[in-house]
Amino acid sequence: MIADFSDNEIAPKAEQLDESQGLPTDTISQLGELGMLGLTIPQQHGGAELDLLSACLVVEEISRCCGSTGVVLATHLFEGTAAIMNLADDAGHQRWLPKMATGETLATFALAEVEAESDASGITCAVGQEPDGYSLHGKKTWVIAGAMAGLVTVVARNGEESRADHRLSGPWLVRQVDGRWRSRAHIAILTAYVGPPSSGPVAEERLE
């Protein structure tokens, strides 16, 4: 099924997608309808609950025809979805995983910064505790499908720690709300409120 879909639906659009530097919005929506965005998600939350190797084979088949589409899917499955599955509590699973399985919410991952690139020890995006929650401030670049994503796992530094500490407080979840967080295909400028403190690092948030 996936091979036929890749050949018939993805391959014909790949060249135009590359030339326009666009995002595979329609294709990702179709993959959601096919259940491909929930490959690794437990069945109880609407996913297929496949093993990692099987999910990798699906991503590989899609990437055969369009690398960009494959990367968006891989990031959703292996970064965004994995963060919720491994770090969120039961309430977080119930809130996010069903939407991620259907494609209603696309997830991505924000680590890289212009100066630090992908060196996690050099990032400056920071989170600080407030009386009723947490504040998250910084700039991330090369956020895969940032303009499409409804949920971003952000790696940030504790505001009280120096860069020499090599310690990170993330991941944190930033949810897109009415387009109010400024995002382009490759850059996300984060100014967010995350809380309450009792929710821990993986928490619901609202943007200020």
Between 158 and 92, whose confidence is greater? Answer: 92
Q: Is the pLDDT of residue 61 over 80?
A: yes
CA 94/CA 22 separation, integer angstroms: 32
CA 59/CA 204 separation, integer angstroms: 29
Q: Is the pLDDT of residue 168 over 50?
A: no
Q: Smallest Cα–Cα separation from 140: which of 103, 100, 192?
A: 192
Predicted confidence (pLDDT) per residue in 1-51, tens digit = 899 999 999 999 999 988 888 889 999 999 999 999 999 999 999 999 999
Residue 141 is given by DSSP the state E
CA 167/CA 190 separation, integer angstroms: 20
pLDDT given at position 76 = 96
* 151 SS3 class: strand
Q: What does the block give as tokens for 162?
A: 């120096």
Residue whose tokens read 């930033």? 174
Q: Is the pLDDT of residue 193 over 50?
A: no
Question: What's the half-sphere exposure (Cβ side, CA atoms, 13 Å) at 188?
Answer: 32
Q: What does the block give as tokens for 68?
A: 């960009």
Predicted confidence (pLDDT) per residue in 112-141, tens digit = 888 888 888 888 888 777 776 667 777 788
> If residue 189 lies in a helix (H) or strand (E), which one and from where to where?
strand 187-194
Pairing of strands 187-194, 107-110: unpaired
Rg, Å, the chain Cα set = 17
Q: What does the block give as tokens for 5?
A: 């879909």
pLDDT given at position 159 = 62
